[in-house]
Structure 1
């Protein structure tokens, strides 16, 4: 195992051209290689997202709350209250808007992943929102004393029946077809399908509404000369609607897979008290049970809308985080490339400057009265050596470019560390940081491309420099150590003598957008951790206290290349 001090590494003679080119070769050997692709298909819509245990716990909590509230109200369901004429218009107009907005969001999700089951569900919400508003128009003392449409007596009840029979029917269609309807390609075909569906829905709603309003006298009566009390037929229809909704709920329960399935079940559960009140508690309008039942319906109508908005917000937030991480990663790569090219330019400047100086000296000798041929020979030999040195740098860069198009990720950790320290030479000297390296030597290459490893090392070193900014200059020390564990895992530890990370922040140190530095973005460690994990490695915080922090990078060694 070799130990070296950083001042001996960067404070003395400049490394040779082949050395830095070889390090640069390992540092960028995957620039032309396709990125490691181990991600799975991203569920773009909640119709595809599996219901997580947390989602299930929330759904169970909401369902239990609905059941408890219904049980508390049940003993008082028959108590008659005053007739509030504005109750139905306000409540069901809000309900209608919620259902139509939900339908619009479901249509948008269908446009992203066109599945016929999703189109059927969105159509069901259009039916539900439309019939809810139409029932409000027909309800007596709502928008007009006898209702704006219909006969003012039975038309509202029939619109209610259409409302609560078509919606469960579309859920049944969704439940039976959601696992068997292949997704079509999004585009004009999906938009055309939405337009056709809306046209058919509008025609069906218009026809059914005309039937129950203009021809209400030919339909069975639910109310006879009293807008408060239902006929026995009304109770029987409520029982049928209850069983119809329970059937849809049972189908979803058996076939439940996704978040959408889960919250549709909660929505149907919220609708059930609406029928139970009419069957068991009271069939009379304007009782506590009647008012509460419609409140449950409003809650059920807003249920899926709320989930859609929340999940959309989370998906958007995740997408924004991913884009930010990618931009930061790209920016870091560009900075790394700039640093490498700067180092290469420095390596070429040295031999080219020596060639110019030797050439000028040679010309001076030739112009002398009696030139020293031996000195001229030495000068020419120096020029030849410097020219070969520059050629070696260029050749090594050329070999690096050729190999990046064909080789796999295979990187020597110690070479990358040395290169990173050279690139950070100015920062280290400006901040008065001394560096000690403890390299094991003869470490096999690891399964991570050089550019990504260089990015991780640069990030850890820059964080270490920032962490030591508040300690005295004579106590700022950065230690880099490599080791091999069991012949399969390479360890690289980065230790600083800073003030450490508080215990409350240590668990979040790798979270995106979390930072303990003023002006920091909180993305460096998150990107570094993701880069390491993507190739089977791990970046972790070993310890952190008032004496400093230790980060350790574990990476599997690269598999030997097969012989062709």
Structure 2
């Protein structure tokens, strides 16, 4: 089964790269077709700009939503910046359509002037390369940061509010403060070619810089499709460079290239999202099959335990009753009672040996001890559970003492203990609503002989009446739980000379305490 990765993580495949190159080539080929006839007049179509802006508005909002969703799941500031850029561009389309002369009013709405729409379009064209440049910078910062679960989840509301504030500021600048900006048009048709040339030159420079930065990394499918989108933006800017008037073949072609550039990213995002969800559905189906197999195995194990443990327990019960009978007779036979009670002790020891042998069948590397740091194991386990934490939108906070003394233990078994406790916390947090989902892990050395972990969560917790029973075998607060996880965890910890206990937090959730002796204590 292929590993489940996001669009942000998936490396580009050769087929996708070839398709991207073909699309980029077609965009520049269309530029070569339009350029010779760019100044050819074309009848003015009043509904053209509002329709194109409406289509692009919907497309860019969908793109921004998909990017915000991915940013929340993968804790990516880079994707959050990209989503904010698309949301800002989408909101500008509203004022662009309303202020365009002839679309809804002869001179446009919102108190617009002859240059208002042009400057809004300029800010839109520069927004994309700037957003892509920031995306590359933040992606490098995210890659060099520590493990994913420790990064905070980017705030969608902050991104949306920032996009709205910037869009409102640009609209006010292009309407109320348009006299402070260079003039780009003489009237609703004829452009000021010199000023327009300078603005387009700056836009081309930004676009080339963004393309160079994306091309230098292109580590994911998303990078490749963003490069294609930038190719479309570069083509339309090059087409806009020699234009001197609206309502020409070149001007209409410019809007069509803008539309195609946006649709490329939208189609790529939807196609890749469908592929990811199909992959996730297959992975989930396989996990369900594995779980069913484990449940069938558990039934077999339960039958084996019942058969193997039942015999010594039955013998122990008979011997205990016999001993009680010898003691409660009118003339007690102490010798026979003592003998029966000794047989009871032997049967209990045999029961314990049977349980240990059954557990040994499911233990890998039993008895293999090694020296390692608790902090190192915690970080490794956090990486293993990164997907589960992201899927439930759980943030992980680590407060680890890097100078903590090492422990001597079976690394595999200790990791099983951590995974079991953290999975229980994640499942508990998945049922919470209206509060922060957070797991905190702290490490410390409470005395000179041991090290200790505190694993806290803000989940649903356990009822006070059940707190004393959570480590009992076959007791579970989950509908489909086996009740063996925490019991085995405590057994593993105690076999290593440590302790495992839990307590309820003041408001929500629980705290598990895991205490183990230092390695030098075992050596001594």
Q: Distance in 2 between matches of 1:248 and 1:117?
A: 14
Q: State the Cα distance separating 1:86 from its structure 2 match.
A: 0.6
Aligned CA distance change for structure 1 residues 293 and 329 (closer, same or farther; 3 Å): same
1:456 match: none
Over the aligned positions, Cα root-mean-square deviation in angstroms equals: 3.7
Q: What do residues 237-258 of structure 1 show as CA deviations (whole Å, max 9, x unaligned)?
A: 1222122212211121122211
Listed as ranges, the matches of 1:237-386 within 5 Å are 237-280=199-242, 282-335=243-296
Distance apart, 1:84 and its partner CA: 0.7
Could you tell me how far 1:199 is from its partner in structure 2? 2.3
Seen in structure 2, the aligned counterparts of structure 1 residues 124 and 347 have a Cα distance that, compared at 3 Å, is closer
Greater shift after overlay, 176-185 or 146-155?
176-185
Larger radius of gyration: 1
CA-CA distance at 1:316 after TM superposition: 0.9
- Structure 2 residue 363 is matched with structure 1 residue 403: no
Equivalent position to 1:222, from 169, 176, 184: 184
Contact between 2:308 and 2:354, CA under 8 Å: does it hold in 1?
A: no
- Alpha-carbon shift at residue 346 of structure 1 (Å): 11
After superposition, give the CA deviation of every residue in 1:259-293 in whole Å (9 maximum; x if it has no partner): 1211111111111222222223x322121221111
Gap change, CA 1:345 and 1:306, over 3 Å in 2: same
- Counterpart CA distance in 1 for 2:58 and 2:149 is 27
Structure 1 spans left out of the alignment, 5+ residues: 1-38, 349-393, 410-564
**Stretch moving more, 68-77 or 305-314:** 68-77
The 1:337/1:108 distance shift into structure 2, 3 A limit, reads closer
Residue 105 of structure 1, CA deviation:
1.2
The structure, 1 or 2, with the larger RCO (C-alpha pairs under 8 Å, 6+ apart) is 1
Distance 1:67 1:406, change over 3 A: same
Match of 2:15 in 1: 54
Q: 2:54 aligns with which of 71, 90, 93?
A: 93
- Give the aligned partner of residue 432 of structure 1: none
Q: State the match for 2:157 in structure 1.
A: 195
What is the CA deviation profile of residues 131-159 of structure 1, one whole-angstrom value per residue up to 9, with x for unaligned ones? 22221111011122211224341000110
The equivalent of 1:390 in structure 2 is: none
* Aligned-pair CA distance for 1:230: 3.7
Pair 1:205-2:167 in alignment = yes
Shift, 1:185, TM fit: 6.5
TM-score of the superposition, structure 1-length normalised?
A: 0.52
Q: How many residues align?
A: 333
Answer yes or no: is the 8 Å Cα contact 2:79–2:135 preserved in 1: yes
Would the aligned equivalents of 1:77 and 1:287 in 2 still touch at CA under 8 Å?
yes
Name the SS of the counterpart of 2:7 in structure 1.
Answer: coil
Tell me which residue corresponds to 2:455.
none
1:124 corresponds to 2:85: yes
Displacement after TM superposition at 1:197 (Å): 2.9
Report the equivalent of 2:140: 179
CA distance in 1, matches of 2:292, 2:354: 22
8 Å contact kept, 2:96–2:120? yes
Would the aligned equivalents of 1:113 and 1:184 in 2 still touch at CA under 8 Å?
no
Do the aligned residues in 2 keep the contact of 1:49 with 1:259 (CA within 8 Å)?
Answer: yes
1:111-190 maps to which residues of 2 (within 5 A)? Answer: 111-181=72-142, 182=145, 190=153
For residues 197 and 339 of structure 1, the distance between their equivalents in structure 2, rounded to whole angstroms, comes to 53
Q: Hey, what's the Cα distance between the residues in 2 that align with 1:218 and 1:72?
A: 37
Q: Does structure 1 conserve the Cα–Cα contact (< 8 Å) formed by 2:189 and 2:247?
A: no
Instruction: Return 5+ residue gaps in structure 2 as ranges.
Output: 310-350, 367-524
Distance 2:261 2:287 in 1: 40
The whole-number CA distance in structure 2 between the counterparts of 1:103 and 1:279 is: 28
| Residues 33-48 of structure 1 aligned to structure 2 (within 5 Å) | 44-48=5-9
Alignment of structure 1 residues 436-455 onto 2, 5 Å = none
Alpha-carbon shift at residue 196 of structure 1 (Å): 2.4
Matches within 5 A, 1:489-508: none
Q: Which residue is 1:474 aligned to?
A: none
Structure 2 vs 1, CA of residues 331 and 406 (structure 1 numbering), >3 Å: closer, same or farther?
Answer: closer
Secondary structure of 1:178 counterpart: helix
Q: 1:65 aligns with which of 14, 21, 26?
A: 26
Q: Deviations over 1:12-61 (max 9, x none)?
A: xxxxxxxxxxxxxxxxxxxxxxxxxxx99x56432222222222122112
Give 1:189 shift: 5.4
Q: Kindly indicate whether the alpha-carbon contact (under 8 Å) linking 1:46 and 1:311 is maintained by their aligned counterparts in 2.
A: yes
Deviations 1:337-396 (A, max 9, x none): 657888999999xxxxxxxxxxxxxxxxxxxxxxxxxxxxxxxxxxxxxxxxxxxxx999
Identify if the C-alpha distance between structure 1 residues 110 and 80 changes in structure 2 by more than 3 Å, giving closer, same or farther: same
Q: 1:258 to 1:150 in 2, by over 3 A?
A: farther
Q: Give the distance between the partners of 1:314 and 1:200, measured in 2 at CA.
A: 31
Answer whether contact 1:86 1:142 (CA < 8 A) is retained.
yes
